[in-house]
Chain A
């Protein structure tokens, strides 16, 4: 009984076996991959673009650097990174889900982004890269879905070069109470309906809302980053804490 409890984790509000979570998350993203970009724009009213821009500004990326866009999905950050690092740099778009990776790859190729981008299907907990390899690692709206977050953070720490930085863009806890009420209403009542309407999949968007509630808040995530070795960790609340950008350095 006790042992069974130890090996469980949360999938939204449900409790599932640890080895099942990856499969369940994969199911969610297989089903939404093709509509992912449209849904992002609709659900966030386009604000996710501003959050991603802020992430890029905080990354301090420049020409010739190596960047890893973990859980990069449809490659919004990768596109920008690729143009900024130029032909002497390298960007790796990694996602655990091959449907998302395929959508991302075809989107980026249609935009004419080729040459310095590699596509790799990888698990954030076991990154298939050598130590001290990347200048920048970003994980935008992905950490929430990882089964063992500490292991993933440690793995990211390993592949970062000394002086490199990690940026975690993720949903978080709103800092104002009234906003929080409205936000809850929006996520549990409006969001699944919109999901049903546009992507014909309300379950996946219910999972989205639930997984956001289960994700650690700003301070906890900051502590988790510090625990695996990141230094100068800090976070920026965006849109009153609906989303937070965490930044940590490896020295």
Chain B
């Protein structure tokens, strides 16, 4: 049990430290003042209760009162939660369930996920403008470089599998195969109509012979 409390404590400290850095968080918290929201990850099956007040977000492992909103979600849905437009899609795919006011859930997600923290500004007060700018610039470049590398690796892997090992067909092969299939489909349809025509004729002859 105290392990839960330790986790809650660490989570609470982390969240509130980040909230301190976000200048817009105060206004977002004001809207949610006095609201209790329970969040349960389906994988862990253990709810966490977030008690929001103007100054602070408290995280509790147990709460015996009524919650304003109960959110159940998969870990994979966490990433997409900050995007408001995807909420309905998440709900449809049953990765997210909300009991209670969905607007509260949306605002809560925004409060936690869409924190506007200007790291460069914060860093500049510690190490000076020039160094802060340089650092942030390099971090940005590194990130860009990494994502480019990732794309490249993905592409190379794909090519290696389809061209060298020939485990998977290339895009043109797939297109050609699809074309053949649809051609076959057409011919089948044609054959079917001919068959029905033939059958009709046989029946007519049969009736005539009688």
Residues of A within 8 A of B (CB): 49-51, 53-54, 56-58, 60-63, 80, 83-84, 86-87, 111-113, 236, 238-239
B49-73 vs A, CB cutoff 8 Å, 1 = contact: the mask equals 0010111101011111110000000
User: In whole Å, how far is A148's beta carbon from the nearest beta carbon of chain B?
Assistant: 31
A50 touches B55 (CB 8 A): no
Q: Which residues of A contact B65 (CB under 8 A)?
A: 61-63
How far does the alpha carbon of A49 sit from the alpha carbon of B11 in the complex, in Å? 13
Q: Which residues of B contact A86 (CB under 8 A)?
A: 34, 53
B8-24 vs A, CB cutoff 8 Å, 1 = contact: the mask equals 11000000000000000
**Which of A50, A111, A112, A113 sits near B5, CB closer than 8 Å?**
A50
How far does the alpha carbon of A12 sit from the alpha carbon of B9 in the complex, in Å? 33
B5 touches A83 (CB 8 A): no
A112 touches B2 (CB 8 A): no
B60 touches A63 (CB 8 A): no
A-B contact pairs, 5 of them (CB 8 A): A57-B4, A60-B64, A111-B56, A113-B55, A238-B2
The size class of the interface chain B forms with chain A is 20 to 34
How far does the alpha carbon of A53 sit from the alpha carbon of B48 in the complex, in Å? 13
- Name the residue on B nearest A63 (C-beta): B65
Q: Which residues of A contact B60 (CB under 8 A)?
A: 56-57, 84
Q: Which residues of A contact B64 (CB under 8 A)?
A: 60-62
- Name the residue on B nearest A49 (C-beta): B9
User: In whole Å, how far is A2's beta carbon from the nearest beta carbon of chain B?
Assistant: 46
| Given A53-B5, A53-B61, A61-B65, 5 more pairs with CB closer than 8 A | A51-B2, A53-B8, A60-B62, A87-B34, A113-B55
B9 touches A53 (CB 8 A): yes
A57 touches B61 (CB 8 A): yes
A83 touches B56 (CB 8 A): yes
**Which of A50, A83, A113 sits near B51, CB closer than 8 Å?**
A83
Q: Which residues of B contact A111 (CB under 8 A)?
A: 55-56
**Which of A50, A56, A62, A83 sits near B2, CB closer than 8 Å?**
A50
Q: Counting CB contacts under 8 A, is B1 at the interface?
A: yes
